[in-house]
């Protein structure tokens, strides 16, 4: 009987996984062929198991997508803030240069004004460095979350393989019970 299903083995390919429905369909097909006289309760149990497996997968994907969107929104807001500060700094620089060209009479006033602008630029530069550092930290956190997600997928794959093996055992047990009747 094992040779009959050799080309339809339930294999989880990490690089190109099939949707959960694919594996559930194969299990259902095996179940129906192995245990055609199964009770309705047994069939319903298999169906509810398949549905719950799909729902868990969908819930996990939704959680990952939601968390990624929140992180991306935060990064976009920080970048927009930086752009606004850079724009303000550019305007201030242009204003300062313009003022320097047309107001050469009062050098001491210009010197004070330039020192104030210099302090403002230094503050903006410090803010840019801080936000850049925060963005790098968030990027690292995102990378760590991605690695955690990959690790969880590996665990889910392992648990899936264990579940498949258990269901194969249950199917064989049901098959033996049905043959004994």
User: If 0-12 CB within 10 Å is exposed, 13-18 middle and 19+ buried, where does residue 27 land?
Assistant: buried
pLDDT at position 131 is: 80
Residue 104 has pLDDT above 80, yes or no: no
* Residue 3 scores a pLDDT above 80: no
Confidence of residue 9 (pLDDT cuts 50, 70, 90): low
Indicate if the pLDDT at residue 63 is higher than 70.
Answer: yes
pLDDT digits (tens, 9 = 90+) for 82-95: 778 777 877 777 77
**pLDDT confidence of residue 99:** 64
Please report the pLDDT score of residue 10 as a whole number. 62
Least confident of 17-26, 68-77, 146-155: 17-26
Q: How far are the Cα atoms of 34, 93, 175 from residue 4, in angstroms, in the given order?
A: 12, 78, 15
**In the chain, pLDDT over 70 holds for what percent of residues?**
82
Note the pLDDT of residue 152: 84
| Three-state SS sequence of the chain | CCHHHHHHCCCCCCCCCCCHHHHHHHHHHHHHHHCCCCCHHHHHHHHHHHHHHHHHHHHHHHHHHHHHHHHHHHHHHHHHHHHHHHHHHHHHHHHHHHHHHHCCCCHHHHHHHHHHHHHHHHHHHHHHHHHHHHHHHHHHHHHHHHHHHHHHHHHHHHHHHHHHHHHHHHHHHHHHHHHHC
Q: What is the mean pLDDT of residues 8-31?
A: 74
Q: How far apart are the first and last CA of the chain?
A: 19
Quote the pLDDT of residue 43: 84
Which of 36-50, 80-94, 149-163 has the lowest average pLDDT?
80-94
The per-residue pLDDT for range 114-155, each reduced to its tens digit, is 787 888 888 888 888 888 787 777 778 887 888 888 888 888
């Amino acid at each position: 009987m094992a040779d009959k299903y050799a080309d339809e083995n339930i294999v989880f390919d990490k690089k190109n996984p099939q949707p959960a429905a694919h594996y559930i369909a194969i299990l259902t097909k095996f179940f129906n062929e192995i245990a055609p006289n199964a009770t309705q309760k047994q069939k319903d149990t298999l169906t509810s198991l398949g549905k719950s497996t799909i729902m868990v997968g969908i819930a996990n994907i939704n959680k990952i997508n939601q968390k990624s969107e929140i992180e991306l929104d935060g990064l976009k807001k920080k970048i927009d803030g930086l752009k606004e500060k850079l724009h303000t700094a550019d305007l201030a620089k242009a204003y300062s240069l313009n003022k320097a060209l047309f107001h050469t009479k009062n050098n001491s006033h210009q010197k004070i004004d330039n020192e104030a602008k210099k302090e403002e630029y230094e503050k903006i530069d410090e803010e840019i460095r801080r936000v850049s550092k925060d963005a790098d930290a968030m990027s690292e956190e995102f990378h760590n979350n991605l690695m955690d997600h990959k690790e969880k997928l590996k665990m889910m794959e392992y648990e899936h393989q264990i579940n498949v093996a258990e269901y194969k055992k249950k199917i064989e047990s049901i098959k033996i019970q049905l043959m004994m009747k």
